[in-house]
Amino acid sequence: MPQSPFQKFPTEDVTRNFLPREDQCSPEYAKLEAERLWPYVWQIACRMEEIPNVGDFVTYEVVDESIIVVRTGPDEISAHHNVCPHRGRQLTEGCGKARFFKCRFHGWEFNLDGSNKAVIDRKDFGDFFTDEDIALKPVKVDTWGGFVFINMDPECEPLADFLSPVDDYCGRFNFENLRFRYYKTAIMPCNWKTAMGFFNEFYHVQQSHPQLIEHMEDYSNSGGFGRHTAMWYDNDSIYPFQRSSRLPPAPKLDVRDHIRGVVTEFHNNLGAMASGRSYRLLERLDGIPAHLSDMEVLGEWARIQVEEALAEGAAWPMELTPEYMLASRLDWHVFPNTIYLHGSIDSVIWYRFRPNGYDPDTCIMDVWSLELYGEGQAPPLKREFYTDWQDPAAKWGRILDQDFANMLAVRKGMKSRAFKGSLMNPIQELSVTHFYRCLREFMNEGPKAGSGRGEVMPEAAE
């Protein structure tokens, strides 16, 4: 990446307490991202199970770039720029299966590995071009957690280095064994980073999702790990099942009621973060002896789920320990555009956000509910796409409806002449500001910039 002649958007202007408005509102900023972020950063193109067989492909798009991700062997995936080297026609749209790629303009053909298979009337061209000239242009590809990542920068760092330390904290969850419960995509009415900002902090839960806090802790800490960020509870618990610590004292409920409350809400009103298995197992809660302590009940609840999962032939991640789960935090934002909440182990919600062209006021959001199914139990993959996020057919459920209800109002509010930027919570929203700071740094200094590499922890509240 060429060095910036100047820093149009200085990294230092984003602090723990303040987020300038232009990152989310300015067309110039969106243009800069297209030039300096997306062509140089690792990003999720698809899940591996979307391309299980040789020849299966997905077309991944971000702003003006289009990439073909194709399975070329049982353990081999390739990625190519989706452009015919003859006169530039795109070769694929969406997903499909191919033995080779054929251009519909003049009929040139390409093997799955990107090499040229046929040039019509090749003799006409003499020795004008090399094999490389007439092949598809390669894109870096690698996998982690069952996801296929691509990077358009031939000089990019290895994916494992880029992701560090996410794998150290979350690798034992074996995300590669999860399968889609649902896959929904919609055009949302705000900037991709604005939309993302509804999912990488818990500060909004008490106001936006008030039904949750009777049964769930929500006061959180957050911080940066390299360019990535995470959120966590400070109470050394791996379980959310309690009345929020921010609520006034009330008669204590049985922990079973909190488990029922949380699992039912997430299962029925999000379709994620509570598996079908855990929902079915709620009926066994009453069988747990009444005299046990809260911690013993939680231990039994965990034991029942593992036992049932193994009986169903699900690949439960047996290397997880309570200590590892505690250290792994609750929610990760993997730079730049994906977020997941993995605490319930067998039901993980994963979000991906992309700009919608150069429009700073809309974005493309994917919501992936991923679940650990028993042997042969995963439903067939069905991708749902909504040009209108308010389409009732999307059936987002109460929790996402609550988040989405804020999006347009935030976008509109930020346009006000009275609004210069966001006044950020330096503890619970550090996960948001750290990301914006790392994004500016990445665009100003290039992908090898270093200061986003350490840990950035919240300041203690006064």
Q: Mask: binding to ligand FES, 188-227, rule CB under 6 A, as x and -?
A: ----------------------------------------
Residues 80-99 that bind ligand FES (CB under 6 A): 84, 86-87, 89
Give me the residues paired with residue 294 across strands: none
Q: How far is the CB of 205 from Fe ion (least distance, A)?
A: 6
Which entry of ligand FES, Fe ion, none binds 420, CB below 5 to 8 A by partner kind?
none
Helix (H) or strand (E) holding 117: strand 116-118
Does 430 bind ligand FES (CB under 6 A)? Our answer is no
103 forms part of the interface with ligand FES (CB under 6 A): yes
Q: Which of 13, 403 has the CB closer to Fe ion?
A: 403
Tell which one of 100, 105, 125, 358 touches ligand FES (CB under 6 A). 105
Q: Which is nearer to ligand FES, 122 or 395 (CB)?
A: 122
CA-based nearest residue to 237, from 295, 160, 279, 297: 295
Long-range contacts of 411-417 (CB under 8 A, 24+ apart): 411/24, 411/189, 411/190, 411/191, 411/194, 411/361, 414/21, 414/24, 414/25, 414/194, 415/25
Total chain residues near ligand FES (CB under 6 A): 9
Q: Which residue is nearest to Fe ion (CB)?
A: 403
Which residue, 89 or 252, is less far from ligand FES as judged by CB? 89
Is the CB of 60 or the CB of 353 nearer to Fe ion?
353
Taking the complex as a whole, how short is the minimal distance between the CB of residue 404 and Fe ion, in angstroms? 9
Q: Choose among ligand FES, Fe ion, none what residue 87 binds, the Cβ cut-off being 5 to 8 Å by kind.
A: ligand FES
In the bound complex, what is the minimum distance in angstroms from residue 82's beta carbon to ligand FES? 11
Inter-residue contact 435 to 201 (CB < 8 Å): no
Closer of 15 and 206 to Fe ion (Cβ): 206
Output the smallest distance, CB 193 to ligand FES, in A: 36
At 11, give phi and psi (nearest 5°).
-55, -40
Q: Which among 214-222, 286-294, 403-411, 412-420 is the span making contact with Fe ion, rule CB under 5 A?
A: 403-411
Nearest to 184 by CA among 440, 454, 391: 391
Cβ atoms within 10 Å, residue 143: 14
**β-strands 338-341, 65-73: how paired?**
unpaired
Please say which residue, 356 or 406, places its beta carbon nearer to Fe ion.
406
When the beta carbons of 269 and 275 are compared against Fe ion, the nearer one is 269
How many Å apart are CA 110 and CA 72, to the nearest integer? 13
**Residue 403 binding target from ligand FES, Fe ion, none, CB below 5 to 8 Å by type:** Fe ion
- Which of the residues 106 through 135 are near ligand FES (CB under 6 A)? 106-108
Measured between alpha carbons, how far apart are the two ends of the chain, in Å?
42
Phi, psi of 194 (to 5 degrees): -65, -45
Q: Which does 108 bind (CB under 5 to 8 A by kind): ligand FES, Fe ion, none?
A: ligand FES
Q: Is 107 left (phi over 0), alpha (psi -120 to 50) or beta?
A: left
At 50, list the tokens. 């979307």
| Euclidean distance between CA atoms 382 and 333, whole angstroms | 25
Asked if residue 85 lies in contact with residue 105, where contact means CB atoms within 8 angstroms, the answer is no
* Residue selected from 49, 403, 449, 457 as contacting Fe ion according to rule CB under 5 A: 403
Closer of 89 and 395 to ligand FES (Cβ): 89
Report whether 356 contacts 362 (CB < 8 A): yes
Residue numbers at the binding site for ligand FES (CB under 6 A): 84, 86-87, 89, 103, 105-108
Residue numbers at the binding site for Fe ion (CB under 5 A): 403
